[in-house]
A and B are shown apart, each in its own frame.
Chain A
């Protein structure tokens, strides 16, 4: 999937995260988190995995995490990417 426009998904409330995506040459993932030291690597892993699963290889993904669980991270990344791709028909297999 190709990120065509800027989009966001999520909130900055506790246990959630805010994901913003934007078109960009090359893949850039920026993560800030309150628990970056403990879980930074794991958050990146989940984000990369989700993006790979959705076949996103280009774009900027900015994540501001407030201690979200893996499932929340996955869902928010998916949400932001789908909005950014202006996806009309949803392929449920990639989610």
Chain B
């Protein structure tokens, strides 16, 4: 097989990017050789794009399956360790999440795990993603701690969220602590505000009547129709001039792809329960204490089942004693209604898509209307229509 190895080297050398001499770095190579002394064999660490390399993806799938895991659709890239034609270890990257980490049983207990996890961090860094998260079961926490990950929050017995820095959540909470306000009842509201409606305004006003200070968080994950910068701007404009309110930009620690994944562990029911639990426990254990938050206000949800589930879970994970951190009171506020129908951001998006600014005007504050008009309303008609549909039907 010697000739095969030589051939691989030549191929690999052709594919590799030139080495940057100044910065003395060798990352970005499609392969790296790694001599596993314990096994007395050579392993190749490579990157693998599951969308391009179908054969490779099938091998990864087999390895994952043998280890009780499934390959996930959203993985952009794998780091794999190959011994000749076999894949013996893999780790996947999906945005800021490390997923699908598996090592064949005969390669465990070597330093291969370290190499693999180091390599995936380097790969992510090359793609501009320095801050990584992963989900694992509590009994695997020690393994990932050895690979440079640190525990953020744990749903006891089910799942644990980890990040690849010892100071991530601590730094975030320190930055929040600087914005702490005095008072007995400190409220909080988490908004996606896609876009900011009279319903949101009503929620904030009602919440504010019931507490000394209100912290408003805007979800920063850019999965929504209206982009984060615009949404934050809409909220700030809509709440401008209101006393006793702080508007916070969102973070990776609050309703983000990291804290709220559609992650799949074998038992679907466990995951559905866990996916909201991680986010809510993180809020209770880290964010709320940093700001002294005692209450979380939420609009009741007449339409969307998923949001309703989140609201129900909220009282479970925030209020229940026994979990870490002081309980946070969840206050559900009836939705603001216009003409007998609860105002909903998704309705507003649908109306905007249809270009119906008149009805929209009755559902959103003037600040939102003006901004949405400026952004989407003044374009040439036919194009605007098409673009609006494109834009608004996605979310």
Contact = CB atoms under 8 A, between A and B. Distances in A.
Interface of A: 6-8, 11-13, 18, 20, 22, 30, 32, 60, 62, 64, 79, 82-83, 86-90
Of B23, B111, B122, most A-chain CB atoms within 10 Å: B23
Given A62-B165, A79-B24, A13 B114 contact: yes
Given A8-B122, A11-B118, A18-B148, A64 B23 contact: no
Interface string B142-166: 0000111000000000000000011
B114 A64 contact: no
B229 interface: no
Given A18-B148, A64-B166, A12 B118 contact: yes
Name B's interface SS.
loop
Nearest to B27: A83
Nearest to A16: B114
Of B121, B122, B130, B146, most A-chain CB atoms within 10 Å: B130
Nearest to A14: B111
A32 B117 CA distance: 18
What class of interface size applies to chain B in its complex with A?
A: 20 to 34
B304 interface: no
Interface string B100-126: 000000000001001101100110010
B114 A11 contact: yes
Contacts of A62: 165-167
A12 B147 contact: yes
Nearest to A60: B167
Contacts of A87: 22-23
B228 to A, nearest CB: 20
Given A12-B114, A83-B23, 13 more contacts: A6-B125, A6-B130, A7-B125, A8-B122, A12-B146, A12-B147, A20-B130, A22-B130, A62-B165, A79-B24, A82-B22, A86-B23, A87-B23
A88 B22 contact: yes
Interface of B: 21-25, 111, 114-115, 117-118, 121-122, 125, 130, 146-148, 165-167
A18 B119 CA distance: 12
Nearest to A10: B118
A20 to B, nearest CB: 7
Contacts of A89: 22
A92 B115 CA distance: 29
17 contacts: A8-B121, A8-B122, A8-B125, A11-B115, A12-B114, A12-B118, A13-B111, A18-B148, A20-B130, A22-B130, A60-B167, A62-B166, A62-B167, A82-B23, A83-B23, A86-B23, A90-B24
B165 A90 contact: no
Nearest to B168: A62
A90 B166 contact: no
Contacts of B22: 82, 87-90
A79 B115 CA distance: 18
Nearest to B170: A30
Contacts of A8: 121-122, 125, 130
Nearest to B147: A12
B195 to A, nearest CB: 32
B165 A20 contact: yes
Nearest to A86: B23
Contacts of B165: 20, 62
A39 B148 CA distance: 20
Nearest to A88: B22
Contacts of A60: 167
Contacts of A18: 118, 148
B166 A32 contact: yes
B98 to A, nearest CB: 15
Contacts of A30: 166-167
Contacts of B21: 90
